[in-house]
Amino acid sequence: MGKEIRSVVNILDLSVDEINHLMELADAIEADPGKFQECCAHRKLAVLFYEPSTRTRLSFEAAMLELGGQVLGFAGADSSSAAKGESVADTIRVVSNYADIIVMRHPKEGAPVVAVQNASVPFINAGDGGHFHPTQTLADLLTIRRTRGRLEGLTLGLCGDLKFGRTVHSLIDAMLRYPGNRYVLISPEELRLPFYELEKLEKSGVLYQEVNSLEEAIPDLDILYMTRVQKERFFNEEDYLRLKDSYILTPEKLLKSREDLAILHPLPRVNEISVQVDKDPRAKYFYQTLCGKQMRMALILFLLGLDKG
């Protein structure tokens, strides 16, 4: 029998032990990047992005380059044969002949499942519609662990577009595996967490509450995870315009927050965090992008079986 090909579509495809291993590997990369600079020599990463991205695509590319590997791919469906009607299944079968590992972002929920069924190399979901974004979650987990020292016993405030924000869904799925966390879901009524995610919180028996007011929630929080209202997932412009500025984090709103609060945001930011907050030591969202690159380096090593030194 051939060696099992490991892929990551959902954060739950990785066990807690594996996630902890990836975080330790990311710490080792941070401590001594030179030790890893040839690990992926002669290996290729295919980066297939059917949807816009800055961080995820460039951090995957940087990750592979810093591991000594090479990168190929496309940054938009229009510049690939998807524009001529090629299916994801066919594209993945073809690209499996060109690369050792594939990363794909696609606007359709479920497209990564089709990709895994057709890939003959490891596959990583870099975001599918409003569904999952597991490597953003890896970035978030490392940021939380490095800034708060633990992943248990924290009060997490998740604020903004909890309906379409795939990063929120993946983060909740991941944090539910660490005990003692409490969840404060801050959103307008129309952008509440979907039923299937609320059901997970309910079944897990964790403490959670749904609120509208960011100001009232802030004093209790260890982590504040701000999100952008996802314009691209709205069916009409009018609703987007009405909801887009529901929450704007300002220095004034932080006056009653804990000193050791960590403010995260998957980015891109539109208007939901004032730039005046950027210089506050509690703002960790740019540091989060560095954590993302290091976790993607760790994940590439792990999926290629190159993580054992």
Minimum distance between the CB of residue 62 and ligand CP, rounded to whole angstroms?
12
- The verdict on whether 93 is a catalytic residue reads no
Q: Is 293 labeled as catalytic in the residue annotation?
A: no
Would residue 284 show up in a list of annotated catalytic residues for this protein?
no
CB of 289 to ligand CP, least distance (A): 8
SS3 state of residue 24: helix
* Residues in Cβ contact with 64 at an 8 Å cutoff, skipping those fewer than 6 apart: 40, 43, 45, 70, 71, 300
Specify the residue, 208 or 225, whose C-beta has the smaller distance to ligand CP: 225
User: Which CB atom, from 59 or from 257, has the smaller least distance to ligand CP?
Assistant: 59
Residue placing its CB nearer to ligand CP in the complex, 136 or 155: 136
C-beta of 22 vs 39, nearer to ligand CP: 22
According to DSSP, residue 284 is labeled -
Active-site position among 84, 203, 279, 308? 84
Q: Determine whether 237 is exposed, middle or buried from the number of CB atoms within 10 Å of its CB (0-12, 13-18, 19+).
A: exposed
Beta partners for 70? 44
113, 105, 33, 36: which is closest to 76 by C-alpha?
A: 105
Question: Is 56 a catalytic site residue?
Answer: yes
Which is catalytic among the residues 44, 57, 133, 146? Answer: 133
Beta-bridge partner residues of 184: 157, 209
**Measured between alpha carbons, how far is 75 from 245 in angstroms, rounded to an integer?**
29
Contact 72, 102 (CB under 8 A): no
Q: Which two tokens stand for residue 75?
A: 């940054």
Binding site for ligand CP (CB under 6 A): 53-56, 127, 136, 266-268
- Tokens read off for 117: 């069924």
Catalytic residue among 44, 57, 105, 106: 105
Q: Supply the minimum distance, in Å, between the C-beta of residue 193 and ligand CP.
A: 19
Q: Which is nearer to ligand CP, 39 or 103 (CB)?
A: 103
Q: Provide the 10 A C-beta neighbour count for residue 25.
A: 20
Question: 86: how many CB neighbours lie within 10 A of its CB?
Answer: 13
Q: To the nearest whole angstrom, how small is the minimum distance from the Cβ of residue 220 to ligand CP?
A: 26
Is 106 a catalytic site residue? no
Min dist. Cβ of residue 113 to ligand CP (A): 20
What H or E segment, with its residue span, contains residue 17? helix 16-31
CB of 278 to ligand CP, least distance (A): 17
In the complex with ligand CP, which residue's Cβ is closer, 44 or 55? Answer: 55
Which residues are marked as active site?
55-56, 84, 105, 133
